[in-house]
Each structure stands twice: as structure tokens, then as C-alpha cells.
Structure 1
Amino acid sequence: MTAGDNVTISGSGNSTNPYVVSATLGCDDVRPCLSGGSGIGYDPATGVITAKVSGQTGNNLTVRPDGSLFVPTGAATVSTGCGLTGNGAASTPLRANTGTWPYPCDATTRGGVVVCDSNGVLRSEPRGMATFNNYFENRTYNNVPVPTGAVDAVDNYNVTITNPDPCRPALVVVEQEVDIWLVVPAGGAAATGFAGDEMQYLRNTGSSTMSSVHTQHTKVLSPGTIPAAGTMSVGYGAGAGRGGGGAYYYAIYFTLRTLLISL
């Protein structure tokens, strides 16, 4: 028996010393059978097989000194923009890039909220609103005698106001003005103001009639709040009283101004 390339034969072929055929295959004989594939690097000159790591920007896969592959948590998928910091790794978590709370109150109990809308956009609380309106009405009468009792309503003026804020209640601030036009003969008297609130008393101690006597009375008050998108009736009564000596009124000018504030 004759051994060929890379083959050795030993033994004499009898039962006590049988032939042993051994074959050896060198690296140069194996390397032509190997090749790199997807994600694998192969050097046929050295026979070294490695992981093929892309060098494209944004790829965070690395080969550690011990030869193992490593991707930091979140680093391969997070790209921060305005308002965000960090890369999602355990050592650098993704965070909102917030400012410093500059107020003496506690942000936990007094701070506003930020929500995500139906389009995936962050939104803050609704913006504040302030709405101001004027209402006027001039009424004339057929020389109505001023009542002799205490000042009370002789006519009323009301309007319905609407809160334009669909989100929050509005505080209502109202300014009321009333101007009652009087004729007070000599020896006559009259008082005017708001219903139940005398604000002026006039007595004619002269010898001639006082015509077109009037004073514009004013009050500012808050009747409360209006629910979001709700309505409220606001108004007041024009007051007259303590009349005598033929005093009468013939016109009342009503003015109502409203300020609605929602914050």
C-alpha cells in the first residue's frame, strides 16, 4: 500500500498490527471552501472570520475588547430634537429638556399640564382669554312722578352674556351706569340711584323749576362666574324715590359694561 498526498499508512496488515490510514487537511486546503455572507467578514489570506459592522452614521453597534457585540440601550433608535435630551441609554436616559421653576409656589400643586393631542403634538393648557363688551339703551317716559318712598327700582335693564371660552369658567366683572333725567319744580325733591341704593338726593329750594336734572351713577361688581361656553343674565334696576312737590322723570339712560376673564 502506498500513501498519497496528505495520507499516512502505518502497521503491517496482520491481526496484531493492522494497517492505520491517517489523513490530514491543511488550512490552505479548507479556506477556498469558505466565504463571507450577510453580516460576516472573511479574510481568505488569514482565515479570520469576523462580524461585519456597518460604518454608516447612526449605527451604534460596536465590537467590545472581548470580541462580543454591544449596542447601548436605545442608542440605535433615538434621535433627539428640540426639547429632548439623552440617547435612551441607561446612563443617558431620554428626558424632556425642562427649565427651572421660577415661582415660590410648589410646581407639584400649582403647575400646569402638558398633553398629547390627537395628532401626536404636545399641547399646553388653553390660553387665557379676556372679553370686554358694552351695552346701551336709552328709554323715554311720559313724565312719570318720582315715587315718594325709599329709592327702589322704577325700571330694569338686563342682557344675557356668553362665556366665549369653551374650556374654562370665566370671572364676570360688571360696570353699571344709570342716568335718570328729572324735572323738579320749586319746593320739589327727588332721589336717584340703583334699586335699593340711593346715591343722590336733590331738593329744589329755589323759586323756579329745575329742568333736565340728571347724574350718572356708577357701580362695579362681580356677579360670579360663567361655566365654560355657558351664559348668564346680568342687569340692574334704575332706582328713584323720596319724590315730592311734583318732581317727575322722563328718561333713563342705561349702560352696562362686562369684562369676562378666564385664566
Structure 2
Amino acid sequence: MIVGGDGVTVEGSGSPASPLVISAKPSPVTVADSDCITLSGDGTGGAPLRATPRLDPDPANLLACGPNGLTVTGGTGGTVATACGLTGDGSTGAPITAAVAAWTAACDLDTEAGHVYCDSTGQLRTDPPPRFAFYRDSGNQVYPATPVPTGSDVPITTPTLRITNPDTCREAHVLVNVDLDMDLTLPATSGGGYGIGTDDMAFIANRGSSTATAVHTQVTKTWHRVIPPGGAVDEPLEITGLRGSGGATYNRIQWGINAFVWVV
């Protein structure tokens, strides 16, 4: 007797009329899909094994299965379409590149050009733009007749101007310009002056024989300040009196503080 083992079948009795026929049994095949491949069939002649790629149905998905294999769709002929800021279609002859203008400055591009950055949302950003700000304050104070101080650079009043750096990234350069005018009453043979801080800006003497009233001249001074990123300063204008003699008095002080702020 002949008995078939696992995977083998035996048919017939071995006689001329019923010869032995030995054949293999089809073995069942277990298949399992993956995230990207779907498997079908059991390996038999009527149901051969077949692997089919699983494509995401999202409309933004550019991957497709063509007659020659997987391809990237979009654009022309399976290449990539581009929009503002990009050129090319992703092919060998036209790779995707940034659409840029020609460098026209006389200086060197590699050392003098700015930069481009990618922010947390994927947007392209450039260096912070230049900023400018202007601040001003002024006053016109009338006083009762007040003796001009006899000393040198004696403080009378100190108005201030708040100056803020409008940029939180870079330091600001500030051009501060101040102007000052003081009305003096000068009896005969008297004199008096005024200044800004320790600078004596004006001195006027009356060498005549009668009183001179509303004697004045406007003076100005300019200096530079640096303010750190996002910072602010209270810029003072210290107004002083000086060298008063012979009963000289003042009765009006006019002043102005101007701040020109640049961030580049």
C-alpha cells in the first residue's frame, strides 16, 4: 500500500487500468495587509498572490500608481506644480528652486546680504525691517522775576522726555536735539547767562546805563544715545543759570527736546 504524506496525494491502485498518480496538494497561504500594501489571493493558479499599494485618498496626496510603477502626480507629465516664490517642476532639467531677483548692489552678496528664515508655522521670514520713531516734548514756563544764579551751572529745572526703542530685537540709535531760550531782565551794568548741563550756552551783559528787558537768544545742543532692544530711557534736559550779577533776573524759560530714533 502506498499512502501520501503531508502535502502529497496518491490516486490509483497501481494496475494498468488504474495507475498510481502522485500529486502535490495545494498548500493554503495566509496573507496580511500592511499600512501601505494590500495582499490578495491564496497562491493557487486561480487566485495568485497580488500586492496592491494603498494610496491615501487625501486630495493633497501626489503619489499615484501608473502603468510603469509609482509616480508623483501634479504639474505636467507627473512633475510638481509650483506657485509664488518657487520655480521649476521637480524634473532633472528644471529642479525646484527659489524665485530670486538679481543682486544689483555694488557690495558683495555673500558678506552684505540679509538672511531668510523659517518660522514655527513654516512661513518664510526675513531679517527684521528697519524702524524709525520720533519723540518730542516742549515747554514755555513763565516765572516771577527770579535772580539769575551767581554761580556756574546752577540747576533751575530739568524736564525729561521718555524715549522708547520700538524694536524688541535690536538696539536703537537715538539723535537727541534740545533747544533752550531764557528771557532775562538786565539792569545797567548787570549780566547773566544760562546753559545745558555743564555747558555754558549763553551769557549776556548790559554795559549801558538803562535796564534791558526780554533779552534772550535761543541755543541748541545735540547728542547720541543707544537704547537696548525693547528698552526705554528718560532723557533729561538740565537747564542751568550762571554768572548772575547786578540784579539780573529771568522770567521765562522756553525749551524743547526732540529724539530721532533709528533701528537698522
Q: How far apart are 1:163 and its partner, in Å?
A: 1.7
Give the structure 2 partner of residue 81 of structure 1.
Answer: 83
The yes-or-no answer on 1:195 pairing with 2:225 is: no
- Alignment partner, residue 185 of structure 2: 183
The structural deviation recorded for 1:179 is: 1.3
- Amino acid aligned to 1:212: A
Comparing 182-191 with 251-260, greater Cα deviation is found at 251-260
Secondary structure in 2 matching 1:167:
coil
- Which residue of the other structure, out of 133, 136, 157, is the alignment partner of 1:134? 136
Change (3 A) 1:79 1:73: closer
Q: Normalising by the residue count of structure 1, what TM-score does the alignment of the two structures yield?
A: 0.67
Equivalent residue number for residue 42 of structure 2? none
Does the aligned pair in 1 maintain the 2:63–2:71 contact within 8 Å? no
CA displacement, residues 52-72 of structure 1 (integer Å, 9 cap, x when unaligned)? xxxxxx999988xxxx66959
Q: Which stretch has the larger CA shift, 243-252 or 145-154?
A: 145-154
Unaligned runs of 5+ in 1: 1-14, 16-32, 40-57
Give, in angstroms, the shift of residue 191 of structure 1: 2.0
1:48-63 equivalent positions in 2, closer than 5 A: none
**Residue equivalent to 2:118:** 116
- Greater shift, 196-205 or 137-146, is seen at 137-146
Structure 1 residue 240, shift from structure 2 partner: 2.1
User: Which residue identity is paired with 1:173?
Assistant: L
* Greater gyration radius: 1
- The equivalent residue for 1:238 is 239
Indicate if the aligned counterparts of 1:74 and 1:88 stay in contact, CA closer than 8 A: no
Describe the superposition over 1:117-147 as per-residue Cα deviations: whole angstroms up to 9, x where unpaired. Answer: 3443322223222111220123343433222
Give runs of aligned pairs for residues 8-157 of structure 1, distance below 5 A.
76=78, 78-157=80-159
Contact 2:72 2:80 in 1 (8 A): no
Task: Map Cα deviations across residues 158-201 of structure 1 (whole Å, 9 max, x no partner).
Answer: 12222223333221111101111211101101122322222222
* Aligned equivalent of 2:222: 220
> What residue in structure 2 maps to residue 208 of structure 1?
210
Closer, same or farther: CA 182–148 of 1 in aligned 2, 3 Å: same
The secondary structure found in structure 2 opposite 1:108 is: helix
Runs of 4 or more, structure 1, over 4 Å off, are 58-63, 68-75
In structure 2, give the amino acid aligned to 1:79: A
Counterpart code for 2:231: G
Q: How far apart, in 1, do the equivalents of 2:73 and 2:100 lie?
A: 23
The amino acid of 1:147's aligned partner reads P
Equivalence for 1:42: none
Aligned to 1:52: none
- CA drift of 1:218 comes to 0.9
CA contact (8 A) 2:63 2:70 kept: no
Which residue of 2 is the match for residue 261 of structure 1? 262
SS in structure 1 at match of 2:111: helix
CA contact (8 A) 1:151 1:191 kept: no
SS, match of residue 168 in structure 1: coil
2:162 to 140, 160, 163: 160
Cα 1:149/1:59, change in 2 over 3 Å:
closer
> Distance in 1 between the 2:87 and 2:159 partners?
60
CA contact (8 A) 2:191 2:206 kept: yes
Identity value in percent = 35
- Aligned Cα root-mean-square deviation (Å): 3.2
Cα distance in 2 for residues equivalent to 1:59 and 1:165? 45
Give the conservation status (yes or no) of the 8 Å contact 2:74–2:81: no
Q: Distance in 2 between matches of 1:235 and 1:113?
A: 38
